[in-house]
Amino acid sequence: MIGDALDGARIAVTGATGFLGTALVERLLRSVPGCQLVLLIRPGRRTPALERARREVFRNDCFDRLRAQLGDGFDAEIERRVTVIGGDVATDGLGLDDEGRGRLASCDVVMHVAAAVSFDSPLDAAVEVNLLGPPRVAAVLADAGSKAHLVAVSTAYVAGTRRGRSPEALLADTPFAIEVSWRGEVDAARRARGDVDAASRAPERLAGFAKRARSELGAAGPPLLAERLEKLRLEWVTDTMVDAGRARAKGLGWPDVYAYTKALGERALLDACTEGGVAFTIVRPSIIESALAEPRAGWIRGFRMAEPVIISYGRGLLKQFPGIPEGVVDVIPVDLVVAALIAVAARGPNPAGPDVFQVASGARNPLRYRRLVNLVQGWFREHPLYDSEGQPIVVPEWSFPGRGRVQRQLLRTTRALSAAERVITSLPIRGRQAELSSRFEERRSEAERALGYVQLYGAYAETEAVFDVDRLLALWSSLPPEDQAVFGFDPGVIDWPHYVRNVHLPSIVANSRVRTTAGRKTGASRQERGRRAVLSPARHLAAFDLENTLIASNVVESYAWLATRHLPMDERVQFTLRTLREGPALLALDRRDRGDFLRHFYRRYEGAPAEQLFSDSWEMFSSLILARSFPSGIRRIRRHRALGHRTVLITGALDFVIAPLRPLFDDIVCASLGQDAEGRLTGELLAGPPTGEARTLAMASYAEAEGLRLEESVAYADSASDLPMLEAVGFPVAVNPEAKLATIARKRGWHVEHWARAPGFAKHRLPIGPLLRSGAHGVPKRYPMYSRAEGGDR
């Protein structure tokens, strides 16, 4: 009896926070009540191993059944039977202290489940966990003189891409073994990481990262651009190492880096156990999917291999997928794998030497690819997903094309969408028009995701290997009926139509963020939820940008209005033509650096009479600013103040321009120009303009002085140059966003507002002030700066 064999046993489990590990821990606690568990869990940066176990293991819904059985005694049972030690299989010695090594070595069984299960892990990361993890566990046991039975979980796909039957045998004993030194592969992977990191720091590559960062963020300021550059560099290193792992695996005959490192991990384990005298058994599952029955039908943790493909198909995003119609998709429910692992542990090590068990369905109860597609297609036609408008999504017919053909089609699609996105992002559009860029980005992401699925999983839909399960079935047959009833792992019991239609698909759809009901949503929309969050009484501070956030105007228009206020008609024409000619250069400077643009532009005010400007600004307020204001924005400021929130305007506009707006806000941070002894503006700023990261510092200083918390504050802005300000608060709002910010806001799930000008005001194509005539002969008044700078660039 399995329960008797493991009664009183101390069983260590690595990888308990993962899908298989969580299910294994739950089953041991529920079905083997006499055992004690030692869980080796990697501590987080700020989270101890014990806290990770509480949050990520025992609070998972996998334990609902056990929690219901034990009631209030659940926590006490866990404390009595479970010991958690901090360790990391990616570190030599597992990162254990003396106490941790002693507890691991004192176990009767060590189940090594931890793995980097992603099929596209970076080469070096997969090597450290999947290849070196098993021999590291064996080395700790050997050094301590432990007699523990090591049960190591591998994968059936260590067989590679070969055709035909794959026996339950050590790789060295199979006729298909590829002779390659696992130590050499480790050294090469580690060298590759260093080489790639060095290459990422080459001047020409850093220049490329900088160019891309600027294209994505615009004039967001040096700190954010530097942060984005470094993130792009690290992403490039990771992507290059992913490509290196994929290329090396395929070159040696494995479908991906996961199978490749698992295969070499088996060889490294054999060498370590032979040298250290550690008894071990290898268990190779195929594709592990949702539970057939234990702890409940359909239980799953996270998305496995098939789920992203199936959900994308159900949403109509994946029009076709490669595969061999008559090929076998070797799927095995997680509870069957768990039961097999427990049975192997109860059996103990093979006295004749290490052996292998494959937990797979293909040889015993094959699920053909065409049958799976038909089952999935039929289910989604009966239970369709719904689009954002509440309309049913009709799933496409799959034609089983070749992988190369699908990849080429998706590559063409992603390139075309990327080109369209670049064009739109470069255009000076904002608001709802800018959302077109966001939609293109979303479509491109969907196409890239589909391409990734094809590259990662296409080989598994084309596999022609059949995994023998003779040893597994022999072990099953050796169990008494009582154990067979509790620990079922015979793949022959799976009814595929029932499992796919009634267990697996309902489960993954329920765990996905997809619509399953027709009609428009009856609850609050995302827009309403976002607005409710920013207008919560719990908010502390509301910070506002000005240009294109509260008014459809900018510093150039304000300057043009004031400058032409006292110019005769002929000079107005000259001024307008000169300003239009300068437009592209000014726009380019603004996009490069907002602060430099303001310093450069404000020099045009040199020599202007301050008193006259301040007076004219009040008239400009009614003629230009108010006419171009967004009533919704003004109402939002008043709403925040009514809720008791502090309100602050942070803008690069000049103080005399925004003076009429002061009553709206509690405080204003803006730009100011110096004056000479004659009361004329110098054209030089008294302090650095509040742009980019300077806005964040100003906002942070204000919040600290007022005792406010930025994580409970709101910021409103329209441009990617305002990213530092938006990122600094807990509730960023993109208002009439430009294309770059619209894309960023969609990716990050930020609230977006579209505020429009009030109808009824006269619309002037050019922001020029009304012509004034004064004096006995009707000679227009002129600012000295314009009379002195005619034909110049001021």
Percent of residues, the chain, with pLDDT higher than 90: 52
Q: Rounded distance, CA 611 to CA 589, Å?
A: 30
For residues 146 and 53, state if they share a domain: yes
Structure tokens belonging to residue 629: 């204001």
Contact (Cβ atoms closer than 8 angstroms) between residue 332 and residue 359: yes
The H-or-E segment that residue 247 falls in is: helix 222-251
Contacts of 347 (CB under 8 A, 6+ apart): 5, 475
For residues 551 and 590, state if they share a domain: yes
For residues 508 and 584, state if they share a domain: no
What pLDDT score does 792 carry? 38
Indicate if the pLDDT at residue 341 is higher than 90: yes
Contact (Cβ atoms closer than 8 angstroms) between residue 429 and residue 323: no
Tell me the pLDDT tens digit for each residue of 717-751.
Answer: 998 888 889 999 999 999 998 888 888 888 888 99
How many other CB atoms sit within 10 Å of the CB of residue 263?
Answer: 27
End-to-end CA distance of the chain: 93
For residues 378 and 512, state if they share a domain: yes
Tell me the pLDDT tens digit for each residue of 440-482.
Answer: 666 777 666 666 766 666 667 667 788 999 999 999 999 999 9
- Is the residue at 777 inside a domain? no
For residues 372 and 346, state if they share a domain: no
Percent of residues, the chain, with pLDDT higher than 70: 87
Using 50, 70 and 90 to split pLDDT, how confident is the model at 689? confident
For residues 574 and 454, state if they share a domain: no
Provide DSSP, 177-217: -----HHHHHHHHHHHHHHHHHHHTSHHHHHHHHHHHHHHH
- Least-confidence region, from 119-128, 608-617, 705-714: 608-617
Indicate if the pLDDT at residue 111 is higher than 80: yes
For residues 38 and 138, state if they share a domain: yes
Indicate if the pLDDT at residue 773 is higher than 60: no
For residues 686 and 743, state if they share a domain: yes
What pLDDT score does 771 carry? 47
Cβ neighbourhood burial of 465 (10 Å; 0-12, 13-18, 19+): buried
Highest mean pLDDT among 8-22, 290-304, 612-626: 8-22
- Is the residue at 247 inside a domain? no
Tell me the pLDDT tens digit for each residue of 512-548.
Answer: 878 878 766 666 678 889 999 999 999 999 999 998 8
Cβ neighbourhood burial of 408 (10 Å; 0-12, 13-18, 19+): exposed
For residues 115 and 140, state if they share a domain: yes
What pLDDT score does 305 carry? 61
Contact (Cβ atoms closer than 8 angstroms) between residue 558 and residue 673: no
For residues 29 and 103, state if they share a domain: yes
- Is the residue at 16 inside a domain? yes
More confident residue, 689 or 499: 499
- Is the residue at 593 inside a domain? yes
**DSSP annotation of 780:** P
Using 50, 70 and 90 to split pLDDT, how confident is the model at 788? very low
Indicate if the pLDDT at residue 715 is higher than 80: yes
Cβ neighbourhood burial of 311 (10 Å; 0-12, 13-18, 19+): buried
- Is the residue at 794 inside a domain? no
What pLDDT score does 428 carry? 62
How many other CB atoms sit within 10 Å of the CB of residue 404?
Answer: 11
Structure tokens belonging to residue 296: 């409940």
- Is the residue at 621 inside a domain? yes
Q: Give the residue from 751, 713, 715 showing the smallest Cα distance to 527.
A: 751
For residues 475 and 551, state if they share a domain: no
- Is the residue at 196 inside a domain? no
Provide the domain limits for residue 432: 303-322+366-465+490-522
What pLDDT score does 517 carry? 80
Mean pLDDT score, 62-68: 95
The sign of the dihedral angle between the CA atoms of 83, 85, 88, 91 is negative
Average pLDDT for the chain: 86
What pLDDT score does 764 carry? 54
Task: Outline where 383-523 has alpha helix (H).
Answer: 403-426, 435-461, 470-478, 481-486, 496-498, 505-510
Q: Rounded distance, CA 698 to CA 61, Å?
A: 46
What pLDDT score does 347 carry? 94
Q: Give the residue from 763, 644, 758 showing the smallest Cα distance to 712.
A: 644
Helix-helix angle 182-200:222-251, to 10 degrees = 150
More confident residue, 783 or 743: 743
Q: Number of folded domains in the chain? A: 3
Tell me the pLDDT tens digit for each residue of 577-595.
Answer: 887 787 778 777 776 777 7
Indicate if the pLDDT at residue 306 is higher than 80: no
Using 50, 70 and 90 to split pLDDT, how confident is the model at 426? low
Mean pLDDT score, 297-316: 79
Q: Give the residue from 424, 417, 380, 423 showing the smallest Cα distance to 398.
A: 380
- Token pair 């070797």 is found at 330
Q: How many residues does the chain have?
A: 794
Contact (Cβ atoms closer than 8 angstroms) between residue 312 and residue 356: no
Contact (Cβ atoms closer than 8 angstroms) between residue 735 and residue 717: yes
Where residue 693 sits, what CATH number does that domain have? 3.40.50.1000
Q: Give the residue from 645, 630, 26, 661 showing the smallest Cα distance to 294.
A: 26
- Least-confidence region, from 95-109, 563-577, 641-655: 563-577
For residues 717 and 670, state if they share a domain: yes
- Is the residue at 454 inside a domain? yes
What pLDDT score does 366 carry? 93
Using 50, 70 and 90 to split pLDDT, how confident is the model at 499? very high
Using 50, 70 and 90 to split pLDDT, how confident is the model at 557? confident
Report the half-sphere exposure of 656 (CA within 13 A, side-chain side): 22
Where residue 93 sits, what CATH number does that domain have? 3.40.50.720
Contact (Cβ atoms closer than 8 angstroms) between residue 185 and residue 128: no
- Least-confidence region, from 179-183, 220-224, 363-367, 439-443: 439-443
What pLDDT score does 387 carry? 83
Highest mean pLDDT among 272-276, 308-312, 416-420, 583-587: 272-276
- Least-confidence region, from 48-52, 491-495, 743-747: 743-747
Pairing label, strands 355-359, 280-285: parallel
- Least-confidence region, from 155-159, 255-259, 461-465, 775-779: 775-779
Q: Rounded distance, CA 273 to CA 134, Å?
A: 10
Q: Specify the 3-state DSSP secondary structure of 172.
A: helix
Report the half-sphere exposure of 135 (CA within 13 A, side-chain side): 22
Q: Rounded distance, CA 139 to CA 276, Å?
A: 7
